[in-house]
Structures are given as C-alpha cells and as structure tokens.
Amino acid sequence: MCPGMIPRQDKEGSSLKEEVLINIGKIVGTYGYQGMVRIMPLTDFPERFKKLKTVILWQNGNAKEVMVEVARSHGESYLLKLQGIDSLELAKDYRNALLKIDESQLYPLPAGHYYHFQLQGLSVYDEEKGCLGELTEVLETGANDVYVVQSPEYGEILLPAIKDVILEVNLAEKIMRVRLLPGLIEL
C-alpha cells in the first residue's frame, strides 16, 4: 500500500465473506415445475457449469453451499437443478440470487493474465513518480482493458493495459509497476 493511504476495512458478516467469493452466474428465471433455475453466466468459462458439484448460493447477504444435481446448456444460458430447490414456487424465490465459487475453484489463466478481482486493490507504482495510488476498477474496452487508479495526488488515472505501460504485476506483494506514457497525467 502506498504511504499515507488508508486501508480498506473488511466487512463483518457470515463465515463466507462476499469479497473472497467470485460471481460465476445469476439466477434469472425458472424452467419447468421441478425447481430448475435458469442461469445467466457471469464468467468467461460458462462450460464450468456442467462440471460443478457444489456452488455457493448468495442472496440478500446470506450464503449457502448447495449441491448441483443437474446442469445443462440452454441457448445463451444454463439450466441448473440445485439440491433443496424442488418446486417452481421455491425456484422463483431465488430469482436474482448469485452463484459464487471460492477462489480455489477458478480456472487457471496463462502466465501474465489475471482475473479482474485479483488486480483490484493493487498499489500502483510508476518508475519515475513513485506511488500513484490504488487500482480500483478494470474497464473492458475493445482493444485492451483500462485500469482505473485512484490517486490522492493526481486524481483518477486511466492506464491502458498494454506492455509498454504495465511492467510488472506482483500479486503476492499486491503491487503493480508501470511506466506512464507522456500525457497520462496532467500536471
């Protein structure tokens, strides 16, 4: 963390904390009368639904791990039969609930590629200006992602996620080292 920055506080709550869980889908509807739910994938790997054995059902701040009994694709969505949801009426109660997984269940990415949640919260250091601030958001654009850095000194900085700018990402130390292109920070 950059000197002078205030660390974010952890939220209190259930034993499963939302910030350590990753969204992979959202229940957007029901299918049939046996309690099957229709899932909108929130993952780049929707095929994961066919292999899921358990998933964390997150609704109104409450987490519950449930077994996945059946999973199959259905157009752009997936249909899941979750243990304990055995009727259309009960399935309707879970509309807009999120399906989450633990970080240990993530698909591995190639070297040099990161999940957005892994980058958020990193302290960003420029090789000339030192600590710029904290990476707070990743914007997906057509050509490349853009990292939003909140800087106490420079305000909001938009960094293109390209090799000329991003020199190093060290998740263990929670640091990103960058080389600013001319004009990225206006003084």
| pLDDT category of residue 150 using cuts at 50, 70 and 90 | very high
Backbone angles phi, psi at 27, to 5 degrees: -75, 120
| pLDDT category of residue 5 using cuts at 50, 70 and 90 | low
| Rounded CA separation 52/57 (Å) | 13
Amino acid sitting at position 36: M
**Does the 116-178 domain belong in CATH 2.30.30.240?**
yes
Extents of the domains making up the chain: 18-105, 116-178
Neighbouring residues of 147: CB distance < 8 A, sequence distance ≥ 6:
119, 124, 135, 137, 138, 139, 158, 159, 160, 161, 166, 176
* pLDDT average, residue stretch 153-162: 92
| pLDDT category of residue 114 using cuts at 50, 70 and 90 | confident
* pLDDT average, residue stretch 58-76: 92
* pLDDT average, residue stretch 107-124: 87
| Rounded CA separation 2/130 (Å) | 9
Q: Is residue 69 within 8 Å of 117, Cβ to Cβ?
A: no
Enter the pTM of the model: 0.65
**Does the 18-105 domain belong in CATH 2.40.30.60?**
yes
